[in-house]
Amino acid sequence: MAKYKPDYGSAAVCFIILYFAFETFFVTVFSQGAGLDDAELASNISFWNWGYGGSQPPLYTWIAYGVEQVFGLHFYLLQVIKFGLLATTFLGVYLGLRLLDVRPVVAGASMLAMFLLPQIGWESQRALTHSIMGTAGSAYSFAAFCFFIRKPSFFRAIILGLASATAILGKYNGTLFLVALFCGTALTREFRYALKNRYFPLAIVTTCAAIAPAFIYMFAHPASVVARANKLAMGKTGNFFSDRLSGLADFFVASLGFVSVALILALILAGLHSFSNSKVSQLTTREENRAEHLIYHILLFGILLVLALVLVLGITNVKDRWLQPLLFLAPAYFTLVLSRLCYSLKYVRAFGLIGAIAALVVPFILYINIATAYNRFDPPEQLFDYKKLDRALRTEGPFKMVFARHPQLPGNLRLIDPTLKTVHVGSPFISEKLVTPLMVLWPGNGKLPEDLRDALIEAGLPVVGKTGEVKIGFIGGSDVKRIVSYLYLP
């Protein structure tokens, strides 16, 4: 009896599942504390809100809040959420391609090649949260739309609507992907019939219903939605034409930086094929040509959409991580082009294999980044001795709430003691939440910062009390010490 030999696609799926399960365990074991994004999440989920300020949609925080209510607050659960979302992002792309009848080897290579996008293969594992959710929601929307395309129905329209809601509630730029997805489909002759189907409006209605509660909150609190709009640096130079030229240049650099590694490697493999004497093994299929056209139009419309926003709004600052929900399908497009240009599938397999190798390098770099004081003068936040800080603060007396300028300290203190309630300057409804006994924290040895003082006054709490400061070091051999000042209100 012949032994079963798994195909490339099945092996790629197994690799993704095992890889992100390992990363969950790895980061949990070697982290001494939470980085900024995980700390902010741990801090925010001490309360339920329809929105959490900071111009970020609430879905990621809702998921973490629900997990805490069921299982309690543990650092490893935050990693399960994060790496689970990353795994399903990769698998969503694979599933979408398979639903488009792309061969398993091409779909598997497309998925593995996503590790060649630095913002997904590296930065998302190191630090991000909401960008991960936005990209995951976009991947779910892509897979759900491909599911809908195969055989439109009432049920599939509901699935598409819910998936689209996750993209919008995950990250605002997930909305741009949905526009690119549907408009790109309208440009693709082979698939535009899906938009004319009688069930498609139901998907739109489902999306609107799913996002309605959060958007009602956003309209009632518009300041929280645009809290970080200054990051776009709209009209920075003060000159109409200079702003547009600066924004276009920034977008070009950001988008090229986002896809450069995958693009260069795809070009190298295509070049190797052109100089080889490869024999024909299997030509690209008609279905893969259709999938290539669809993804090309999605990417094209997404790029044109961002260009239009830059030109209309005068945006001068574009970060590569903001492009995640728009360009995550770029490796899939490169792979489909490779499968068409290269008659031998070995180049397609090689593209995915290089992505897998890149993924295997990440844990080593991640360990250096989160668990070692490789830079003795600027150690990672995860190595700050939060347990020592917690012990020092508790000598002043019991407290059930921590209030700080930034979420790093309260979030990590809450991971030590999940019964704490925590807020920071960026939290919504601060004045309604502040209660005593309260510990107010700020970095350095200066006086109480104005923003903390104003919040205490608005909450009807005193701004004088027992004050002090503690000097805390970092684990891992760093010589750096950090001063944390506090105001204790019993």
Q: What is the mean pLDDT of residues 187-200?
A: 94
Give burial (CB, 10 Å; 0-12/13-18/19+) of 481.
exposed
pTM, rounded to two decimals: 0.93
Cα–Cα distances in Å, from 99 out to 24, 149, 159?
29, 9, 15
pLDDT in tens, 141-160: 999 999 999 999 999 999 99
pLDDT in tens, 324-383: 999 999 999 999 999 988 777 889 999 999 999 999 999 999 998 888 876 667 788 889
Q: How far apart are CA 424 and CA 410, in angstroms?
A: 8
Angle, vertex CA 418, rays to CA 416 and CA 424, nearest 5: 90
Q: How many CB atoms lie within 10 A of CB 162?
A: 17
pLDDT in tens, 41-93: 999 999 988 877 666 788 999 999 999 999 999 999 999 999 999 999 999 99
**Size of the chain in residues:** 490
Q: Are 289 and 337 spatial neighbours (Cβ–Cβ below 8 Å)? A: no
Q: What is the mean pLDDT of the chain?
A: 90
Q: Which amino acid is at 327?
A: L
pLDDT in tens, 117-136: 999 999 999 888 889 999 99
